[in-house]
Copies of this chain bind each other. A is one copy, B any other.
Amino acid sequence: MEQLILHEDWISGNCYKIRLTAALLGLPIERRQYDITKGETRTPDFLANVNANGRIPVLQIGDRFLPESNAACWWLASGSPLIPQDRFDQADMLRWMFFEQYNHEPNVATLRFWKAHIGLDKLTDAQRALVPGKEVAGNAALALMDQHLTGRDFFVADGLSLADVALYAYTHVAEEGGFDLGAYPAISAWLARVAAQPGYVGLGD
């Protein structure tokens, strides 16, 4: 296999998804760290050679570059049991991965970043005005997940898939964003099931 290099900031859940996918599959991956708070993903070199969108994570596969965390997880898991083969289940897995990027990450991950890493007192007025709406929308995403997981072990079909990996990344640190996971018992049980998987690594590992 071509050499795999993850361009990342280890604190980011989006980057962690890729490390967790690689670990579950036993794939070695080299890591290159960037500090987004210092603009290290906005340099001319990064924009020209890694990602014109100025964002991490980017999975480098040989000399090719793949941005977007869930697309990188898809590449890694291609042909593995982390992607169901059944036509409906495969689309349903992507359904949860798109939900994650649209309904979950912009609320749960952004509030974690603002509260635990930037600090509420350092936000701009425009950012601070968004906090209440993101709290409501983040809890709505968590409530939908909890409802879906009630009576199920994993998000899709009967086993662990990339839908679980994608949603686990920011859900398991949602309390850093001020969310109360105690209110979501099915999520709490599912988090424990994911963390018990063979090959599992934590965000700080």
Contact = CB atoms under 8 A, between A and B. Distances in A.
A40 interface: no
Interface stretch (A83-91, A177-185, A191-199): A83-91
A191 to B, nearest CB: 20
Interface residues of A, number: 35
A25 interface: no
A46 interface: no
Main secondary structure of the interface of A (DSSP, over half): helix
Interface in A96-150: 97-99, 101-103, 105-106, 126, 129, 133, 144, 147-148
Contacts of A105: 102
A28 B102 CA distance: 28
A189 interface: no
A71 interface: yes
Given A75-B88, A75-B91, A99 B68 contact: yes
B101 A88 contact: no
A90 B74 contact: yes
B90 A64 contact: no
A67 B94 CA distance: 10
A134 B101 CA distance: 17
A141 to B, nearest CB: 9
B91 A74 contact: yes
Interface of A: 52-53, 61, 64, 66-72, 74-75, 78, 87-88, 90-92, 94-95, 97-99, 101-103, 105-106, 126, 129, 133, 144, 147-148
